[in-house]
């Protein structure tokens, strides 16, 4: 049992910087989290918040230069990923950690048949010969719900629809039975109805294969039903970290509250304006000294613009990066009790 609940991935104070003409962009600046075996973690944030860069860092896929992992520690199943040679990293990529990307349109190679793209993974990592790799690829395609897999395997990516392509991506990612699956906005580029199918598929495969999953998204609706815990990122920092249920019920950060409020509610009254967080995400190359969210925050005070906020533990496993974390948490608790009587 303790074996089962061991930690699969721990990221400690990760810093990934990009050297650009405008100066150093601290895309990820001191991220810490931990993922247990079989768990699903959601990482939420606006575009540019550093959620994708965090996970590309885990895979050591940051283009260098201009990117650079400037500090921190990434431990995957006891292995120090940042200390590995690039050849040893390649043995993990695709085999033990697999990734699904946002746009299945551009993430599959348009010049190669999907058979080539599926088979090369298992031939490389599992030492399959051609026939084995083909049989395995067909099995994987069937598993992700492509019915006439024997024929479709000879198609090119452009001959599939968007949803089907994402299924192919998932089949490819899961073909070596990885311990960790990183899904980077897997449904953003898809139609709403297809989104649900793909999420169901990931959920189903996760429970069948026991894979740990990191789900990156900007859509709180997506993570709600899928994840065990959630990290909210903003400007390269973790703003709030909590078990999923607790985060939705009692957010302890004004930014998270804003995000939750801006999820459109079907029961919304027609005349009321939709809520939106004022302003734009900050330029990560030129961050102000205080809280990066202060400019947009409704309850910001002088201290927020002056001093960087502390990472406060408001409850067990529930942290928030805010000068007023405890107050916000208390307010949320009151609102919840009010609502539920």
Enumerate binding residues for another protein (CB under 8 A). Answer: 18, 20-21, 59, 61, 65-66, 90-95, 98-99, 101, 103, 106-113, 116, 120-121, 124-125, 156, 158, 169, 172
User: Min. distance of Cβ 189 from another protein in angstroms?
Assistant: 11
Q: Is the dihedral of CA 302, 33, 174, 208 positive or negative?
A: negative
Q: Which is nearer to another protein, 164 or 252 (CB)?
A: 164
Query: What is the smallest separation between the CB atom of 269 and another protein, expressed in angstroms?
Result: 28
Q: Which residues is 318 bridged to in the sheet?
A: 315
95 close to 172: Cβ distance less than 8 angstroms: no
**Closest approach of another protein to the CB of residue 76, in Å:** 14
Smallest gap from residue 169 Cβ to another protein (A): 8
Q: Which is nearer to another protein, 61 or 75 (CB)?
A: 61
Give the nearest distance from C-beta 172 to another protein in angstroms: 7
Query: In the complex, what is the shortest distance from the CB of residue 66 to another protein, in angstroms, rounded to a whole number?
Result: 5
Measured from the CB of residue 133, what is the shortest distance to another protein in angstroms?
13
Task: Round to whole Å and give the CA distance between 137 and 97.
Answer: 18
Nearest residue to 234 via CA among 287, 307, 298: 287
Which DSSP letter does residue 50 get? S
Distance CA 331, CA 338 (A): 10
**Shortest spacing between CB 226 and another protein, in angstroms:** 21
CB-nearer residue toward another protein: 138 or 172: 172
- Residue with Cβ nearer another protein (124 or 249): 124
Six token digits for residue 336: 């919840």
**Residue 59: HSE in the Cβ half-sphere, 13 Å Cα cutoff:** 22
CA 88, CA 100: separation in Å to the nearest integer?
A: 21
Query: Scanning the structure block, which residue is given the tokens 């959601």?
Result: 42
How many residues comprise the chain?
341
Residues 6 or more apart in contact with residue 33 via CB below 8 angstroms: 10, 11, 41, 231, 238, 241
**Which residue, 13 or 129, has its beta carbon nearer to another protein?**
129
The single residue listed with the structure tokens 């040893």 is: 88
- Looking at the Cβ atoms of 91 and 268, the one nearer to another protein is 91
**Cβ closest to another protein, residue 44 vs residue 92:** 92
Count of beta carbons in the 10 Å neighbourhood of residue 270: 4
Sign, CA dihedral 20-21-24-26, equals negative
Residue ranges in the chain assigned as alpha helix (H): 51-58, 86-92, 104-107, 114-125, 130-143, 149-152, 162-174, 192-209, 220-224, 244-249, 254-261, 302-306, 325-339
Q: Least separation, in Å, of the C-beta of 21 and another protein? A: 7
User: Nearer Cβ to another protein, position 110 or 273?
Assistant: 110
Q: Which H/E stretch holds residue 282?
A: none
Nearer residue to another protein within complex by CB, 107 or 253: 107
Question: Using CA atoms, how far apart are residues 176 and 155, in angstroms rounded to an integer?
Answer: 22
């Amino acid at each position: 049992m303790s074996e089962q609940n061991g930690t699969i991935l721990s990221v400690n104070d990760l810093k990934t910087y990009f050297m650009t003409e405008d100066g150093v962009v601290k895309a990820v600046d001191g991220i810490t989290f931990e993922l247990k075996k079989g768990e699903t973690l959601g990482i939420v944030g606006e575009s540019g918040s550093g959620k994708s860069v965090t996970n590309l860092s885990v895979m050591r896929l940051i283009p260098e230069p201009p990117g650079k992992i400037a500090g921190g520690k990434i431990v995957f199943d006891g292995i120090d990923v940042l200390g590995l040679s690039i050849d040893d990293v390649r043995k993990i990529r695709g085999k033990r950690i697999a990734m699904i990307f946002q746009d299945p349109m551009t993430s599959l190679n348009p010049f190669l048949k999907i058979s080539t793209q599926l088979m090369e993974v298992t031939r490389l990592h599992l030492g399959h010969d051609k026939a084995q790799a083909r049989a395995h690829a067909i099995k994987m395609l069937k598993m992700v719900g492509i019915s006439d897999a024997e024929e479709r395997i000879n198609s090119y990516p452009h001959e599939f629809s968007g949803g089907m392509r994402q299924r192919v991506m998932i089949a490819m990612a899961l073909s070596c039975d990885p311990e960790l699956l990183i899904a980077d906005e897997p449904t953003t580029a898809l139609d709403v109805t297809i989104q649900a199918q793909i999420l169901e598929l990931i959920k189903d495969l996760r429970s069948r294969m026991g894979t740990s999953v990191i789900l990156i998204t900007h859509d709180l609706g997506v993570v709600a039903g899928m994840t065990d815990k959630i990290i909210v990122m903003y400007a390269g920092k973790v703003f709030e970290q909590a078990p999923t249920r607790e985060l939705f019920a009692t957010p302890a950060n004004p930014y998270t509250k804003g995000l939750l409020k801006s999820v459109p509610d079907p029961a919304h009254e027609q005349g009321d304006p939709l809520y939106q967080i004022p302003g734009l995400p900050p330029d990560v190359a030129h961050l102000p000294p205080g809280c990066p969210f202060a400019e947009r925050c409704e309850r910001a005070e002088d201290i927020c613009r002056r001093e960087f906020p502390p990472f406060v533990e408001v409850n067990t496993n529930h942290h928030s990066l805010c000068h007023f974390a405890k107050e916000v948490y208390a307010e949320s608790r009151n609102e919840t009790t009010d609502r539920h009587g």
